[in-house]
Structure 1
Amino acid sequence: MKDSFYKYFNCNNKEELYLKLKQNSIDTHKLGKYLKFNQEKENKKIVIRGQNKLFDYLKNNIPDRDEVQIIMFNSNMEVLSDNKFPINTQFKDILDKSYVETANHVILLSHENEYNKLLRLEMDFKLFGYKIIDRIELDKNLELDSKNGIGNCQFTEEDIINGKNKNFKEEKKKINSKELHEFMDYYAKNELLGLNIKDDRKKIKEILKIANQEKSQEYFGLITYNKDQNITNIETSLFKGGIREAKIDPIIITPFLLHQDTDGLIIFHNHPSGSISPSQGDIQVTETIEKMAMRFYKNVEDHFIIGKNKTFSFREEFLLSNYSYERSSNKELSISEKEINLKEPVKNKIKSKEITKEKSTRNRLRSRGQER
């Protein structure tokens, strides 16, 4: 059984944990760093070019004396994975955790007296087609000894201690995921309430991404806002589905449209697969909810699809309806010609992708049948 998420932070429930987080309690520092990491992850790319960049990156990030560090890059020298392993870890286990599809360059780093093991690792990576950028050893004085002669860099014992500190991103695998998701929903509700859908748009997207990107099932939620465009209510789990979809019942959405203080909605759901591309079903659901809102002279401001690292916006991709309403006068407002012209091509492109994918699946199944 997994450990309690709340006990991990010396708390008993979501309310106590949220209060500690807002007070910047030392108990919640790891959680705060985790939230900040997920907030910045969409645009954050670490690129290492040249020895100074490498030294800066390794600072506070070097392995313990009985570990080997494997840093994997793509052709642009963007860090795609960085992991530390006990020096005797088998290569298959190292590659299993370190593997990223687009990675093709590797740096190996360990302490002295592990030359043979490091050389063996280098040969294994080369066998699988990886280019070794460097094989680095740290001597007893914590000075770099580089195979490629990248120069001298002095580290300290404090750097090892900092490098050993586990990130909550990894430790969260050991704790109760149900409690984690419960807290993230509670966190999102408290952080979103009162935000302005225009002025705080970027912040709203970030909070929704943080709260939903790690969920292993699909959840559909909605946000309501008033005539001042301030958020008045958040439902984070209105519908719950499986890995691929969540069935949406329009009747459940009706009470939110009936509320007199509601001027419009933002709807959102996550894609556990990590992809943010909308399906034809996502588009149809959005259009249905838009039509329902129009009957009450209310707007659908946006539909966000949340993946592992990014968020898709129906408004930004011109996939919302061609009309919105001024609630005070019930006046229909046309949107720009640009949005009208772009909406159909985008929808057709998505539909074309789904048809192609469906045909490919049928052909694959047909070929398997013939093989048998």
Structure 2
Amino acid sequence: MTFINKQYQLKYLERQIQRFGAETLNDQELMYVVLQTFCSDKLAQEISEIYFAENYNLSQMNKLTRSDWQLYFKSEAKSLKMEAICELIKRTNQSPQLILGKICSSKMVGEYLQMKMSSYHQEVLYGVFLDTQNQIIYEKEIFKGTLNQATVHPREIFKIAIQYSAARVIIAHNHPSGHTEPSQNDHNMTKRLVKSGEILGIELLDHLVIGQDDYFSFREQQFI
């Protein structure tokens, strides 16, 4: 957005919101209006212009750290305010918790966890535990950190499944890069969990890789 007249820009946008709703503003105008509530008009304009010169949409805000915001604002107090705003947006965008007892599918779990995990800055392993009718019994974040066969042992997953008498398990992990293409390690881990589940009589129903805007399902792609 090019600011035609700084003196009247905010008033013009406020009138537009009043008449037609905030949804009629583009991303940069919306960011400017929010920033202007705790910044000078000049600073709000500068930051919104710099941000969109470096990022293609508002979703990238979830990737920015406190240090990043301090580079924009040159003020810790304003950076903390922006960090709080981003956290508020993140929480309102998250889907409700999966409902216990509800019959679920890979698509339902994938879409839920994509909203929940897409902004995570490190890898997280998540488990959804089901009964014989694919009804949800329990869900839990199992592990946080770099995921490999040394750190993610099947016993940590199936111990929870046994504890809750689960017949089936869906596991998921995110790729902080945003890409959903599974790595060779992801394939190896899936095969290991399938074999372990066969021994215990607990089926690995799916393994999901969560990205920025989508998810990858090993079952939908017929790897399971």
Which band: TM-score by shorter chain? 0.5 to 0.7
Query: 1:196 aligns to what SS in structure 2?
Result: coil
Alignment partner, residue 70 of structure 2: none
Alignment partner, residue 273 of structure 1: 177
Q: Please say which structure displays the higher CA radius of gyration.
A: 1
CA contact 2:138–2:164 (8 Å) conserved in 1: no
CA contact 1:194–1:231 (8 Å) conserved in 2: yes
Alignment partner, residue 356 of structure 1: none
The answer to which structure has the higher helix fraction is 2
Counterpart mapping for 1:97-112 below 5 A: 97-99=51-53
Counterpart mapping for 1:1-372 below 5 A: 64-65=10-11, 82-84=27-29, 85=32, 88-89=42-43, 93-99=47-53, 173-174=83-84, 187-188=96-97, 191-198=98-105, 201-235=106-140, 237-242=141-146, 245=147, 247-259=151-163, 261-320=165-224
Structure with more contact order per residue of length (Cα contacts < 8 Å, sep ≥ 6): 2
Alignment partner, residue 140 of structure 1: none
Alignment partner, residue 147 of structure 1: none
Q: How many percent identity over aligned positions?
A: 23
CA contact 1:227–1:261 (8 Å) conserved in 2: no
The answer to which structure has the higher strand fraction is 1
Provide Cα deviations, 1:191-245, integer angstroms capped at 9, x if missing partner.
Answer: 34222134xx43332222222122222110111111122111111x211105xx4
CA contact 2:137–2:164 (8 Å) conserved in 1: no
Query: 1:64 aligns to what SS in structure 2?
Result: helix
CA contact 2:113–2:210 (8 Å) conserved in 1: yes
CA RMSD of aligned residues (A): 3.6
4+ aligned runs moved over 2 Å, structure 1: 63-67, 84-96, 99-103, 201-206, 256-261
Query: 1:99 aligns to what SS in structure 2?
Result: helix
Gap change, CA 1:288 and 1:309, over 3 Å in 2:
same
Give 1:268's aligned amino acid.
A
Q: How many corresponding residue pairs?
A: 168
Gap change, CA 1:96 and 1:254, over 3 Å in 2:
same
What is the deviation of 1:277? 1.5
Q: Which structure 1 residue ranges, 5 or more long, are not aligned? A: 1-62, 68-80, 104-170, 321-372
What is the deviation of 1:300? 1.2
Q: Distance in 2 between matches of 1:238 and 1:304?
A: 14
CA contact 2:172–2:207 (8 Å) conserved in 1: yes
CA contact 1:192–1:204 (8 Å) conserved in 2: no
Give 2:127's aligned amino acid.
L
